[in-house]
Amino acid sequence: MQPYRRHPCWPEKRRCNCVRLVLAVLFVSGLWDSADVYASTSPDGSDVPLLLFSGFGTLGAVHSNNDRADFTGGFFQPNGAGYTHSWSTDVDSLIAGQVAATFTPELSAVVQAISRQGYNNTYAPQVEWANIKYKITPDLSIRAGRTLLPTFFLSDTQNIGYTYAWVRPPVEVYRLLPVDTNDGLDVSYRLNVADLANTIQANYGYKSTNLTNNGGTAKARGSWGVSDTAEYRALTARITYQYTNLTLPPLDSFFNAFRQFGAQGVAIANRYNSDHKPNRFFDIGASYDPGDWFVTAEWAYNQNNSFTGQSTAWDAGGGYRLAKFTPYLLFAGAKARPISDPGLNVSSLPSFLIGPAIGLNAALNSILSTNPVQTTDSIGVRWDFAKHFDCKLQFDHIRLGAGSSGTFVNIQPGFQLGGTVNLFSAVVDFVW
């Protein structure tokens, strides 16, 4: 098994759900000198850990050659590399930890949190995993509380850089869905037949996530989904469907301004406002990893009846392991619509409303241009220089689609829609 396929302290299988209990918990775990606390005995007489401490982190820096916009690694990061900082340590840097408790062979609990740059430009820790798990049978289990949604192929470990070759999962795919955790129920059933292991997972619940300092909150109501993960020898594949009643409120007041312009304005507001709009997400991904080399690919589709519209994204990559070094290539792309709209027909408006209508149309198209259309070609190398540590260097060449600012934020005057951007990233990942 290759060094970054799995860490022995993680509770789940190959692509575990080892996420996040932050510095305070890590400090407590340090009081135990990273030791497990044993308080029970299994039927075979061996000790069962009552408390298990583990964690992970990334220290990184990213440089962008474009100073008219920011490249960010996450949906909620307010700034990054480019305009705000020529070199940014916020894009990829994080630290996280986990406390897992085993009460009986059937009953367990886990709390995980992560500290990284958030919507308010601080590193305030966020609990992303806090649930109780009960095994009904060895293969059937139910969890209640906060869980990580299995929406993407790398969802289980997308924040754990040590578990994959590249610096970060491609932003084209992994920024499609703004909600990645769920407060509710999660049921999982695993079937093993010879060399085939198949896991079906279903979830239902609710989640709200802060978007801005002024109270803007993304709300996912009545969220439910199903995923199926199949593992056959060196091949792993996952397919996912996720439905969410999604609200993204920060722009609703802007779209409501269109309602003052009669029927055509009401139609525009209804088309693009994001209040209680159904969101449908579909993803399929696979990897083949016989040991010395690996390849992986993923395709995703997201449809929302609001200004975010319809998006498709994909990624494909692979690498070859040469002792402690893994050179790799990664390609990704995203397409979204709409990225423009004619807006209000000013010819039918009284003269005193033409100016405000032109301003609203321009603002609308500025918003729609943020729907990402871009491709990224990446080349990099990973070096496993010590036990549970790696160092990665990666170069990205990003090509933006005509009329789109791609996944960039903080767009400034002079930024070229449809242009190109080069990035250089260096990170150190670690687990314990």
pLDDT tops 80 at residue 17 = no
SS3 content of the chain, % helix, strand, coil (to 5): 15, 50, 35
Average pLDDT along the chain? 88
Domain 23-175+179-247+276-337+372-431 superfamily per CATH = Porin (2.40.160.10)
Beta strands in 7-160 (DSSP E): 37-41, 47-64, 70-71, 81-82, 87-88, 94-102, 107-116, 126-135, 140-148
Tokens coding 289: 């990893």
User: Would you place residue 210 in the very low, low, confident or very high pLDDT band (cuts 50, 70, 90)?
Assistant: low
- CB neighbours of residue 265 within 10 Å: 20
Give, in degrees to the nearest 5, the angle at Cα 306 between 300 and 310: 25
State mean pLDDT over 355-364: 96
- CB neighbours of residue 78 within 10 Å: 18
* Sign of the dihedral defined by the CA atoms of residues 344, 345, 347, 350, in that order: negative
pLDDT tens digit sequence for 117-134: 988 899 999 998 999 999
pLDDT tens digit sequence for 268-309: 999 998 888 899 999 999 999 999 999 999 999 999 989 989
User: Would you place residue 221 in the very low, low, confident or very high pLDDT band (cuts 50, 70, 90)?
Assistant: confident
Residue ranges of the domains in the chain?
23-175+179-247+276-337+372-431, 248-271+342-362
Residues in the chain: 432
Q: What pLDDT does 32 receive? A: 37
| Integer Cα distance of 145 and 227 in angstroms | 18
User: Would you place residue 253 in the very low, low, confident or very high pLDDT band (cuts 50, 70, 90)?
Assistant: confident
